[in-house]
Structure 1
């Protein structure tokens, strides 16, 4: 019997022969359109080509659809039922209306797919290869999938990668940029998907010239949306945060939550610490010290065909798959009050869990559920931004900066670089013109929510 490697090589050779037949079909159709051949001649030759294709598939099936002694299994036509039938194993049979359809089913059963050179197929192979050999998280793989689905059109996915040249790829990129008008970061994600696909094709000799190398980022980035987001599109005002607290208190008293509104606790902690959603979901009671919260883990989601899995990893987003000990966030009076109230509530209700934020039965909160709930919650109180990320940027802009926390400490507490903090987290506060006037007139100090504690005074208390 042939080895898997031998069968794969054989399948690739069959694919090349089938490609020749497909090319010939296209030529015949073009010749007919140009009145070079008659309809009868075209149909006659197309019939011959179809017969050759079936013969090639029969040859490949004979290599994989075999008995224990290595001889091919029988494929028969049942005239009574008008079906092509074969036995796979034991009493398991498969059937189809045509011989070619049955041959395709057999090849699919043995996972012996004929090589396809479409962009879509090469992307699947490239992503699987990256998943197998690279040290990358499921989140990275999912981002490639999301970017591919966003930027690669249905029509472009079906193109033969061997026929995509510099001009056609640049033309597609130009149309895509004009249609979606992406931000710079989004365009670079698109470029990353192209690199993944075409680098893999080049490494495996499917193409000789990599057209992605001809794309000038600078030229396309000029067509992207380069506007800086307004504060109102990214952060919450102090009034917005007070509205959130008020609504959390109201909902906590509703019968449906049984006095245990765990999403409310999560939001309060997010506002007070700027923790990421995955970090909130993965936070354990063993991560709570007397003086600080040890933020060193996150919950990730892996999305496959038909299922979703949530899992715990011992590293944060900025550590990129390699644990470096995480970061410590000092426990302020407000944070201590949140944790004390939550622990007391859980004890009263006999809730036992390793996780700080959990359901009544002790199960951890799934990140997808938290995101979905938060989006609806924020919409219900008519707030402009509806994601957990807004709490991180609001803490930085509304609290850290006005209280004079150095940028190095701001970056450390939020778990990212100084450059990221300055470029992407520092926004002008909303609705504080009167406060600015009063401060310039020397009348009042900045107004902050009551639950926010000055970090410097907290450090002195614990010293």
Structure 2
């Protein structure tokens, strides 16, 4: 018999009439097993009553697998290859056509492995298998980043226990999911050292729901299921078990005073020996404070993106997880554009930003650094998001701040400057930061981190009591400006910075 490679061998197997008939019989047995398990789950039949049928179907499944393997697992002269038990190892084993040995704890496990080897594996309807298929499908058919896929994997591991992960997707009902979700949310609650109970955040619950949506939408697409159990799933019921309160300003944004301390700490590091007079991540952090640029948008910013009176923000640095590390690449769209370049956004080139970029450019010329990227290393290579994030986290932790992420600069700029000082309409704020109006209102707008004395001073300095002259306290905000005439948004932005 002519030697075939594995691909051509599987193709020839799939055309064998006997094999097709055996596969169809095995499929019918699998469907009957599923139907009986569904009846047991629904309570229409007891496990005791179904025991004999379950045993019979299990034996039929085993015999059909054995016949299938005898058809395909053969030597060059057509004789069935031996499947034996090796007592020294306590395992069943057989020799593959490529001379490698294949092992299994039981004979049926070995049969399943052989079916997979020869491309005869029956569809696996376990939730975890369908999730993996759905994740692969999403990565191939949608413009999603590796980070999105990574977060979906993490959410699956966090919220889906082993029992549910191994459940047959076809047997899962809305009631089963509802009962599981309620127990999961209650089990996830924890009590801190002060005895305060903490519930799962609403955002985390919605991440769990995203995983379920991904699984069942894919199962519906592939006709694994006829109806989606999530169609009758009510979020409102489970919100009661979640922490739905909006985060406090202290958990999300920096105050003006904290921003000032961050800038001072950065400037103090610029001349440290370890940076050799070129603390490039420090400059990137300073620009993030002034513009609210996303982590990925900073490394991809080019000098050609600096225009006459604005910065053109239209790209980002993305990465792919692969063996040996990450591969970083340039994407000509921003996060909110979701893989389709739409021109990006413009951010005003204020005096502070002009001076910061001029300072950096002068330093690069002095050091002979040539690069198309604004934030580059001395060899001209662009900075990496991971290094930037690590640098920022260390800096903020050294200041004993609980907030250690770049995203806080976006929210701080929106809340402290664009909203509280410039009073820009929400549509303009959303345009400058590159997201929707709904996102700006829901996730980016916080009250400023003023203490009560500051608030009193603001009232006193901006209100006229009858027969009194407005009082301005020494503590009142130096950034409060009283204009004699209406100013344009562009003028206001310039003055605020």
TM-score range, shorter chain: 0.7 to 0.9
Deviations 1:420-461 (A, max 9, x none): 223322222223643526633453884359xxxx97338889
Aligned partner of 1:141 in structure 2 is: 149
Give the whole-Å Cα distance in 1 for the aligned partners of 2:186 and 2:289. 37
Deviations 1:14-58 (A, max 9, x none): 365367679999x9xxxxx9999xxxx99xx97x98876554334
SS at match of 2:242: coil
Deviations 1:99-149 (A, max 9, x none): 545444444445654432211111112222333344544444344333323
Do structure 1's residue 422 and structure 2's residue 441 form an aligned pair?
yes
Higher RCO (C-alpha 8 Å, min separation 6): 1
Aligned partner of 2:206 in structure 1 is: 188
Do structure 1's residue 199 and structure 2's residue 230 form an aligned pair?
no
Give the whole-Å Cα distance in 2 for the aligned partners of 1:127 and 1:115. 17
TM-score, normalised relative to structure 2: 0.75
2:401 to 373, 377, 383: 383
Aligned counterparts, 1:123-272, within 5 A: 123-180=131-188, 181-272=199-290
SS at match of 2:312: strand
Give the whole-Å Cα distance in 1 for the aligned partners of 2:156 and 2:296. 24
Q: 1:297 offset after TM fit, Å?
A: 1.0
Aligned counterparts, 1:117-128, within 5 A: 117-128=125-136
Do structure 1's residue 457 and structure 2's residue 491 form an aligned pair?
yes
Partners of 2:320 and 2:326 within 8 A in 1: yes
Aligned partner of 2:357 in structure 1 is: 339
Give the whole-Å Cα distance in 1 for the aligned partners of 2:236 and 2:149. 26
Do structure 1's residue 436 and structure 2's residue 458 form an aligned pair?
yes
Partners of 2:127 and 2:215 within 8 A in 1: yes
SS at match of 1:276: coil
Structure 1 residue runs without a partner (length 5+): 28-32
Cα 1:349–1:104 change in 2 (3 A) is: farther
Q: 1:241 offset after TM fit, Å?
A: 0.9
Aligned partner of 2:485 in structure 1 is: none
Cα 1:164–1:304 change in 2 (3 A) is: farther
Partners of 2:22 and 2:64 within 8 A in 1: no
Give the whole-Å Cα distance in 2 for the aligned partners of 1:119 and 1:349. 57
TM-score, normalised relative to structure 1: 0.80
Do structure 1's residue 285 and structure 2's residue 303 form an aligned pair?
yes
Q: 1:400 offset after TM fit, Å?
A: 1.7
Q: 1:265 offset after TM fit, Å?
A: 1.0
Q: 1:288 offset after TM fit, Å?
A: 1.8
Aligned partner of 1:84 in structure 2 is: 93
Cα 1:60–1:254 change in 2 (3 A) is: farther
1:294 to 312, 328, 347: 312
Give the whole-Å Cα distance in 2 for the aligned partners of 1:307 and 1:190. 28
SS at match of 1:277: coil
SS at match of 2:445: coil
SS at match of 1:278: coil
Structure 2 residue runs without a partner (length 5+): 1-11, 40-45, 189-198, 463-469, 481-487
Question: For this pair of structures, how many residues does the alignment match?
Answer: 444
